[in-house]
Amino acid sequence: MLDPQARALIDLMVARQVPPVHTLTPQDARRMYLERRGFTQPVPPLVGEVRGLQTDTGVPLRLYRPQALGVKPVLVYFHGGGWTMGDLDTHDVLCRQLCAAADVAVVAVDYRLGPEHRFPAAVDDCLAATRWVRQQAAGLGLDATRLALGGDSAGGNLAAVTALLMRDAGDAPAACQLLIYPATDMRCEAPSHTHNGQGYMLTSDSVNYFRAQYIAHESQWADWRASPLLAPDLSRLPPALVLTAGYDPLRDEGLQYADALSAAGNRVQYICFERQIHGFITMGRVIDEAHTAVALCAAVLRDAFKPRPAATA
């Protein structure tokens, strides 16, 4: 059963004749995505500090610090929006929620979007931003040894890919991966793309639209930097929470990625919010389970960052 609150939101959008995203220009899609947040997102919680930053390569960032003082672990967060929409403002509330609930700093990354900047521009920005945060951590009051990667939807894809790139480059691994209904396979062949392809806000038409804005040619779908599920080696990666939604076209590829990570020997937790739709975690004003999902993510972050006892002989 679809969550009645999600059903009510979908029905309201139909009644108000909100145009499907795949019928819009990228510019109009971005504007509507930004405007809609005021209706679905909860009141932003207070945090200790919010500050704009920029990497040496020009990627805009936003730093959130908790109210409690001290050197803090940090979550580098990549927003969703199909690699086409979204920015620091569309995910401001979620970043504040994670900052306050987990008592961690959050650095949100405003990576380049398609179609103006196609794959792998977003990948390059996310890796560069993560490295910059680690390099500048001391001056920002952050603990470089306790850094996590996270993101939702397209951002979950970018977080997974960034973890793989860091491993392959020999970078110190992240403490964990927070992968919220991630896109993991650009081929879009999983059964949920058919079962949940119409009627639940994110449709197959929209998925294809976003993919076309981001990926220039079908031959790139199999590049693991676009489809981390297809990476030839998924071993030696940070512990992961993979969170999916039952009425989401991306549900099955999220589960497939969690299973592939587990099969490769990684520590993985997988949770499916069976009655939810894609994008629900930012919709706490109208969907109660969004708050449960945020609390779960915060608990995983707190656990990932807590001191571990030294191993004994």
Report, as residue numbers or ranges, the catalytic residues.
153, 248, 278
67 DSSP 8-state letter: S
Q: Rounded CA gap, 289 and 275, in Å?
A: 9
Which of 114, 86, 127 has its CA nearest to residue 220? 114
258-262-267-272 Cα dihedral, nearest 10 degrees: 30
In the sheet that 177-180 helps form, which strands lie side by side, from edge to edge? 49-54, 60-65, 105-109, 72-78, 142-152, 177-180, 240-247, 268-277
Q: Rounded CA gap, 65 and 46, in Å?
A: 10
| Pair 275, 246: CB distance under 8 Å | yes
At 217, is the secondary structure helix, strand, or coil? coil
Beta-ladder partners of 178: 150, 241
Q: Rounded CA gap, 150 and 241, in Å?
A: 9
In degrees rounded to 5, what are phi and psi of residue 191?
-55, -35
